[in-house]
Amino acid sequence: MAIHPTADEEHALVREFFGGETSGYFVEVGANHPTEGSQTWHLEQAGWSGVLVEPQPDLAAFLVTSRKARVFAVACSSPENAGQSLPLHVDGPRSALDRDRMSPGAHAAYVIVVPSRTLDSVLEELEVADRSHGVDLSVGEQRQTRRVIAAVLEPLEALDEDGACFPRADVADDAAHARSFS
């Protein structure tokens, strides 16, 4: 039986995971709406800073006007696809670059072409050098079964090969069961 915590329960789990830290750095890939369903809005309200990555131009513009975090209007992709314009299959928060990897029940209403970058290139541009303390990496609401909360980031396809600067990652499925990767 799957357990799906409420947004408030999930936010409490995230705060507990990071020991109630009032500062840290978050990265939300597939940020979508500034507050509704956001995995990082509550962290920003608690004093964290960070980056929001959202490929849908209208939502990226909304994020720029509604959030303090830096916004990148791109899709994060693998190093092989970085710099290319890629098709985004749009279905609100369940949009995806790969139609075959969309969430169950998702149906693309239309397709737009969006720029792509690696997550590592975004973080390098921001000069996020010290990524060894609290980092919350959330991979959009469309992947509800794989919320990623990372103290440090490593095993992510969107990072370049030199992502080895991230020695450890703590991954939480639905923010409830943390596992550590080294």
Residue 58 is part of a domain; what is its CATH number? Answer: 3.40.50
On whether residue 7 sits in a domain, the answer given is no
pLDDT attached to residue 165: 37
Rounded CA separation 89/92 (Å): 9
CB 83 within 8 A of CB 121: no
Per the structure, the complete domain to which residue 38 belongs is given by: 24-81+119-181
What contacts 90, CB < 8 A, 6 or more positions away? 56, 108, 109, 110, 111, 112
Buried b (16+ CB within 10 A) or exposed e, 144-162: beebbbbbbbbebebbeee
On whether residue 2 sits in a domain, the answer given is no
Q: What is the mean pLDDT of residues 101-112?
A: 91
Q: What is the mean pLDDT of residues 95-114?
A: 91
Q: Please state whether the predicted TM-score (pTM) of the whole model is above 0.75.
A: no
Q: What is the mean pLDDT of residues 135-148?
A: 41
On whether residue 71 sits in a domain, the answer given is yes
On whether residue 159 sits in a domain, the answer given is yes
Q: What is the pLDDT of residues 156-177, one digit of tens each?
A: 444 444 443 333 333 443 334 4
Tokens of 107: 């149906």
On whether residue 17 sits in a domain, the answer given is no
Q: What is the tally of structural domains in the chain?
A: 1
Question: Contacts by 91-100 with C-beta closer than 8 Å and gap 24+?
Answer: 92/32, 93/30, 93/32, 93/33, 93/37, 93/140, 93/141, 93/142, 94/141, 94/142, 95/30, 95/55, 95/56, 95/142, 96/142
On whether residue 167 sits in a domain, the answer given is yes
On whether residue 86 sits in a domain, the answer given is no
On whether residue 161 sits in a domain, the answer given is yes
CB atoms within 10 A of CB 164: 9
How many CA atoms, within 13 angstroms, populate the side-chain half-sphere of residue 95? Answer: 26
SS3 48: coil
pLDDT attached to residue 114: 96
